[in-house]
A and B are shown apart, each in its own frame.
Chain A
């Protein structure tokens, strides 16, 4: 290490004359350009952000439907679907009228009665759907007496049920 120590204080690296002054000028010029680029990028970023916000605001104002609070692109099909389902009921019920059970009854009169009773049942079914606040067509005509018929029939059924329960009760009383 003593041998090496002799040479450690000598600087073997040669630098061209005026190198450090020229280096300072070159570096300062470079950082000035760097700063200009940074400020330009910042301005571009600001303008881009502002433009993006403007586009979003325009898009929302075009497609937003304030009255329903929904976007125009979404149009609920529910009421139409419900209407279609309800309208299908009469067609299904028509099929019931044509069941083999109805056909097996011998006399035409009985057939007619059976068909009519089944139709009345079908009317009841349609009427019960009417309680969902949807008007239903019966025989092609909209009638407002469906609710009245339904109420009447329901009362009759309830009365018959009540009488039946009373009979059963009395029987039971006699047994015990």
Chain B
């Protein structure tokens, strides 16, 4: 069955039965793994880190999908897990490297041109460095709106923040990125 035709309801129904649970999870992976990976990578930046977090997220989905109540769409529920796991990963990494917030951001900005899994295009590198210099939540708002064109309504449910606050946050993030590009 082509992945575009597999509905969330079908996956959830199959997942409830222990006999078809593994198959249902395979279908879920086919449908969402790319979105999950990039949602994570936009926050953590490095490919190796994104790979680790993605595996963690899938294990979390396996453990908790049975309890999914359908209050939001399946994609929103999964994306929320991605954000939480990514932010948690960053915190652990900061502690491991003994870096504060500013030091960590500077370290990430320095890593961009040296990362073999990032575009060699200078403009793209500058944009990414500008994004990495933003505070974490503002970074999420900017990248999800800028790259994925996520509607504010969906983002509001995802981040539990009002649409007005999100619009203001995105507006300021755009200003900072433009300023960064001008100065570099």
A and B from one complex: yes
Q: Is the CB of A13 within 8 A of B41?
A: yes
Q: Is the CB of A12 within 8 A of B118?
A: yes
CB of B117 within 8 Å of the partner chain? yes
Q: Is the CB of B117 within 8 A of A14?
A: yes
Q: Mark B33-57, 1 if CB is under 8 A from A, else 0.
A: 1100110011000010001001100
Q: Is the CB of A3 within 8 A of B178?
A: yes
Residues of B within 8 A of A20 (CB): 33-34, 37
Residues of B within 8 A of A13 (CB): 38, 41-42, 47, 117-119
Q: Is the CB of A4 within 8 A of B117?
A: no
Q: Identify which of residues 1-60 in chain A touch chain B, using a CB-to-CB cut-off of 8 Å.
A: 1, 3-4, 7-8, 10-16, 19-20, 23-24, 26-28, 30-32, 34-35
A7, A13, A32, A34: most-surrounded residue (chain B CB, <10 A): A13
Q: Is the CB of B29 within 8 A of A14?
A: no
Residues of A within 8 A of B177 (CB): 4
CB of B9 within 8 Å of the partner chain? no
Count of chain B residues near A, Cβ 8 A: 36
- Which of A4, A7, A12, A31 is in CB contact (< 8 Å) with B62? A31
A10–B128 Cα distance when bound, in Å, is 12
A86–B119 Cα distance when bound, in Å, is 103
Residues of A within 8 A of B117 (CB): 13-16
Q: Is the CB of B25 within 8 A of A28?
A: yes
Kindly count the residue-residue contacts between A and B in the assembled complex, taking CB atoms under 8 Å apart.
79
Residues of B within 8 A of A16 (CB): 47, 117
A12–B47 Cα distance when bound, in Å, is 12
> Interface of chain B, helix or strand or loop or mixed?
helix
> Interface of chain A, helix or strand or loop or mixed?
helix
Residues of B within 8 A of A14 (CB): 47, 116-119
* Nearest CB of A to B43, in Å: 12
Residues of B within 8 A of A32 (CB): 22
* Nearest CB of A to B62, in Å: 5
* Nearest CB of B to A21, in Å: 10
* Nearest CB of B to A52, in Å: 27
A34–B116 Cα distance when bound, in Å, is 33
Residues of B within 8 A of A15 (CB): 37, 47, 117
A32–B26 Cα distance when bound, in Å, is 12
- Which of B47, B58, B127 is in CB contact (< 8 Å) with A27? B58
- Which of A1, A3, A34 is in CB contact (< 8 Å) with B59? A34
CB contact under 8 A between A30 and B178, given known A7-B127, A20-B34, A24-B29 = no
Q: Is the CB of A31 within 8 A of B47?
A: no
CB contact under 8 A between A8 and B33, given known A31-B62, A32-B22 = no
* Nearest CB of B to A132, in Å: 68
A20–B124 Cα distance when bound, in Å, is 24
| Interface pairs A-B: 6 shortest CB-CB | A12-B119, A12-B124, A14-B117, A27-B58, A31-B62, A13-B41
Given contacts A1-B178, A20-B33, A20-B34, 17 further A-B contacts (CB under 8 A): A3-B178, A4-B127, A4-B174, A10-B121, A12-B119, A12-B121, A12-B125, A13-B119, A15-B37, A15-B117, A19-B51, A24-B30, A27-B29, A28-B22, A30-B58, A31-B22, A31-B25
